[in-house]
Amino acid sequence: MTDLTSQQILELAPDSASAKAGEGLARRDKWQTLGYDSAAVWGECQGSGKNPYQTQVALDGPTFRCSCPSRKFPCKHGLALMLLHSRDRSHFGQGEQPDWVSSWLAGRSQRAEARQAKAQQPVDPAAQQKRQQQREERVERGIEEFRVWLDDLVRTGFAQARNQRYAYWDDAAARLIDAQAPGLAALVRALPESFSRPDWQAALLTALSRLHLLLEAYSRLDQLPEALHHDIRQQIGWPLDVQALSSQDGERGHWLVLGSRIEQQEIVRERRTWLRHADGRLALLLDFAPLSQSLAPGWPPGQWLDAELVFAPSAVPLRAVLKQANSLSSHSAPLPDGDDAATIHGDFASQRSALPWLRRRAYCLEATPVEQDGIWSLRDRQGQLLPLALPWNRNPWHLLVRSRGRRLWISGEWDGEAFRPLSSREAQGWFGLSEDEV
């Protein structure tokens, strides 16, 4: 990972404030010592305290560590160290690692070896089946308890639900976590978001209806198509077996990188990367990292990826696992045909009828940002509107600057109600559209 560009390094920042602060510290005079070798980069940056902050980056990730009190990963010092190393290595001495670097790397190596040894241990089929059965029973009990909670919520009324403290929702989600149904727990924790909307009654009713439908579908798995089994179980909280999926034969082709979005979940950071094949097919790649670690650099929008993908079984196949990436190029190729608002509405409705819990789907269109009745939208070539999602709806200025009043070729995520931009194609090239800039 020693060949990262400045843009790729800044994309590792947890937010725009960290990226800006990292740029400010990416100067030689801010650092007392700087060094590197084939495994790591390290340096000491003088802060407000007596002792300098010891910052180190393992290049196989990259993985960051710093003695500063920041709870962000990577912190501004880690970003600054990588920026300096990327721009001018003449500032860095090349030699023996300090003790505080070598001890950290040794600890990482020992933990990695322990994980590998555990993964290579033979699996006891009987014990595995027993654990699976125990989880099935625990989930069943948790769902039965949750049904009672859901019935009580509806019976007491939405007005009462709106007045509940957050602990009311969090306690219900915690019980689902104990029942090993983390997917359901996440859906419950998202319910209070409905109250911030002017049409909160309709939004809450829709969310509760999908929850009820999910519970009913789970109780009738044997009556549903097999592809839906995987979707329903993943909604409840069973993880996708990425390793088993990767062992299957995939589909090789050239995929256009439409863009990516990084969001912080409860205990992990998730990156969604959308790819589009020349024939119009979509693929969604998901990457995860603990909040204490940074995600590996992603691909910039507009690149063409020659790759083999394996799609997860689903009623609406989108999620894919990258089995092999052969090459990445920026060769000029025809852009995919842009969608329009009517096509997006119709296609998404069709996809959601097949999979009611579909949250979002990527689309491309040529459109102009416009304001109407206080709401910012994208107006397509036919004059139809797609509302922009927050925070773009309140602060569309970055998008307006990109469009300069003309139609903009733009990709983004549509969730059935609003459009979240991911990237734009302009005369100067491709640009990622970050919500941190809004």
Ranges of each domain in the chain: 6-119, 125-236, 242-329, 341-437
* DSSP label of 117: H
The architecture of the domain spanning 341-437 is: Beta Barrel (2.40)
Q: In what order do the strands lie in the sheet with 304-311?
A: 282-290, 268-277, 251-264, 304-311, 320-329
- Per-residue pLDDT band for 437 (boundaries 50, 70, 90) equals low
pLDDT digits (tens, 9 = 90+) for 151-205: 999 999 999 999 999 999 999 999 999 999 999 999 999 999 999 888 999 999 9
Q: Does domain 242-329 have CATH number 2.40.50?
A: yes
Could you give the 3-state DSSP secondary structure of residue 408? strand
Structure tokens at 330: 């920026």
Q: Is the pLDDT of residue 321 over 70?
A: yes
pLDDT digits (tens, 9 = 90+) for 360-418: 999 999 999 999 888 899 999 999 999 999 888 888 888 888 888 888 999 999 999 99
Give the pLDDT of residue 162: 94
Q: Percent of the chain scored above 90 by pLDDT?
A: 59
- Quick count: other Cβ atoms within 10 Å of Cβ 177? 17
- Quick count: other Cβ atoms within 10 Å of Cβ 193? 12
The answer to whether domain 242-329 and domain 341-437 are alike in fold is yes
Do 331 and 305 form a contact (C-beta atoms < 8 A)? no
CA distance 368 to 385: 9
Give the pLDDT of residue 336: 66
- Give Cα 395 distance to the centre of its chain: 22
Give the pLDDT of residue 199: 92
Do 7 and 290 form a contact (C-beta atoms < 8 A)? no
Longest dimension (CA), the chain: 70
Work out the average pLDDT over 290-294: 73
Give the pLDDT of residue 175: 96
Could you give the 3-state DSSP secondary structure of residue 59? coil
Backbone angles phi, psi at 376, to 5 degrees: -90, 135
Q: Is the pLDDT of residue 2 over 80?
A: no
Could you give the 3-state DSSP secondary structure of residue 188? helix
The mean predicted confidence, pLDDT, of the chain is: 89
Give the pLDDT of residue 5: 81
